[in-house]
Amino acid sequence: MKSADIDALVSFDQQHLWHPYASMHNPPPAYPVVAAEGARLRLADGRELIDGMSSWWSAIHGYNHPVLNQAASAQLATMSHVMFGGITHPPAVALGRKLLEICPPGLSRIFYSDSGSVAVEVAIKMAFQYWLGQGQHQRSKLLTVRNGYHGDTFGAMSVCDPVNGMHHLFQPIMQQHLFAEAPGCAFDEAFTEDHVADVKRLLLQHNDVIAALIIEPIVQGAGGMRFYSPAYLQRLRQLCDEYGILLIADEIATGFGRSGKLFACEHAAISPDILCLGKAITGGYLSFAATLCTDNVAEKVCSGEAGALMHGPTFMANPLACAVAGASIDLLLSQNWHANVQRIEALLKQHLAPAREFATVADVRVLGAIGVLEMKQPVDMVSIQRRFVDNGIWVRPFGKLVYIMPPYVISDTELVTLAANLVKVVATP
């Protein structure tokens, strides 16, 4: 693009287009991307960036993948959309069959929706209607842990961390839930019963009003990028069973291999009562999500006054998204994805390790295809992102967290460059 055209594009963007968590008073810089291929983004000025974000966890196969392009083109030639009310179609059924084959056992019913936040909203409705169907109207609270993140819509936001989730801004109009201490045992640390003491305390005190416990399995994402012990998750499953409440697993960020298992629940060998999927489900091509539940949950939901789950998005089970999601799952499973994620994990551990020596870095941690540098102080987003771009990489930090989750197609050379340049930028005050 010509320089004048780039300037006009950016000017319009900054004057009229809102970006995530951005102010219109003083909008941050936006870097114009005009093409993407594999693990690279091409800017309007011709520069190429190695993508460290997979477009917020979603583009696991990279960009412009011929298999996913073909799936989208083939479905477009048939129909891009048809309402799901009173109608079904082959892509929805085919995707459903795939999901039930690969998801944790016991899940048998699927609700398609538009985004991860909506998948969580649906899960919350399922949990409440489950109890309404049994005449227990008092069960109107959710139990969760601090440092979690489940989305930006009101129901999802209500179970995000109450501090960094900015609850105080919306407290007068947002439902209040129960928060236990965040998991205190790292992924490779020994679990003790003390780690769930606060969860047990809240269960004991409030069991009669709790509908479900909702948690991100193993990896707490945007709430802190923390990895916790599988034994902790196993104990939560046991406690939910002991107290007779539902377990909701939010695998929107971790589903489809990111943590080193196809689903993070597999680290703990547990199955939830309700499972939320999104982000990587279409390989980053389209916004799409799914909420799965057991026969028991579905039966109780539909036994209440409403007689149905009270939700129905306009673009529910969009055929185009279903077709691409099915192709993305097939593509993932056709490869040795587990060995590939192990490759990424090993290289991240090796090439992020030098940052442990920096006085500004509090911790370096890696799990699967996720690498995290936790700083001692919040980073200056505008400054550090400009330096990342100048060094040919795309990284989007927040707060104290500088993290990457690259596309699975990233080459060794690209990954080493990504990690080395990230460390280089962080090393510079």
Active site residues: 21, 149, 250, 279
Cα 358 from Cα 361, distance rounded (Å): 5
- Do you know the residue count of the chain? 429
Between β-strands 246-250 and 274-277, what pairing exists: parallel, antiparallel or unpaired? Answer: parallel
Q: Token digits for 2?
A: 């010509």
Instruction: Give backbone dihedrals phi and psi of 30, rounded to 5 degrees, phi first.
Output: -125, 125
DSSP-assigned beta bridge partners for residue 54: none
Q: Which amino acid is at 231?
A: A
DSSP-assigned beta bridge partners for residue 178: 143
